[in-house]
Amino acid sequence: MKKLWFCLGIIMVSFSCKSTINPDTLPKPLPERPVDSAGNLTQQESNEMENLKSEILAMAKSEKCTNPADWKTIGLGAKACGGPVSYIAYSNKIDEVKFLEKVNLYNQRAADYNKKYNLVSDCMLVMQPENIVCENEKPVFK
């Protein structure tokens, strides 16, 4: 009988406890990212990131691939767990300093964006491509 009362007491206490999980502090999926009171900060940041990425990709694709030795790879984006989202190829014939500044800015903003909005990612490691070959005047990872 004592065991029965003890079990009932444990059950009553466990049902009366409040959950310590606060949904407001959990990571939010991308569609539920918070916005500022004006409702346009996230859209503005998103537009800035898209524009910067477009500039980076335009610079990376500005040269034709005729010699794979003229091409390098660099990580683009930042996963919340660390590491790049993907890799892109770029020619060493472009303004490399300007290009790398843009890539570093994009990567830093992506990392800041992840922290600011408490975003999560799949945490899968994206391996850096080992070889670049030229196919139809475009760099291709092999």
Q: Which residue type is seen at 78?
A: A
113 or 26, which is more confident? 113
Q: Using the Cα atoms of residue 15, residue 18, residue 24 and residue 25 in order, give the sign of their dihedral.
A: negative
Does residue 90 belong to any structural domain of this protein?
Answer: yes
User: Under a CB-based contact definition with an 8 Å cutoff, are residues 74 and 101 in contact?
Assistant: no
**pLDDT, tens digit (0-9, with 9 covering 90-100), for 110-137:** 999 888 888 788 889 999 999 999 999 9
| pLDDT for the residue numbered 120 | 83
User: Which parts of the chain are beta strand (E)?
Assistant: 71-76, 86-91, 132-135, 138-141
pLDDT band at residue 30 using 50, 70 and 90 as cut-offs:
very low
Does residue 65 belong to any structural domain of this protein?
Answer: yes
Does residue 138 belong to any structural domain of this protein?
Answer: yes
**Count of domains forming the chain:** 1
pTM for the whole thing?
Answer: 0.71
* 3-class state of residue 81 by DSSP: coil
User: Which residue range is the domain that position 50 belongs to?
Assistant: 46-142
DSSP letter (8 states) at residue 60: H
**pLDDT, tens digit (0-9, with 9 covering 90-100), for 55-108:** 999 999 999 999 999 999 999 999 999 999 999 999 999 999 999 999 999 999
| pLDDT for the residue numbered 25 | 59
Does residue 22 belong to any structural domain of this protein?
Answer: no
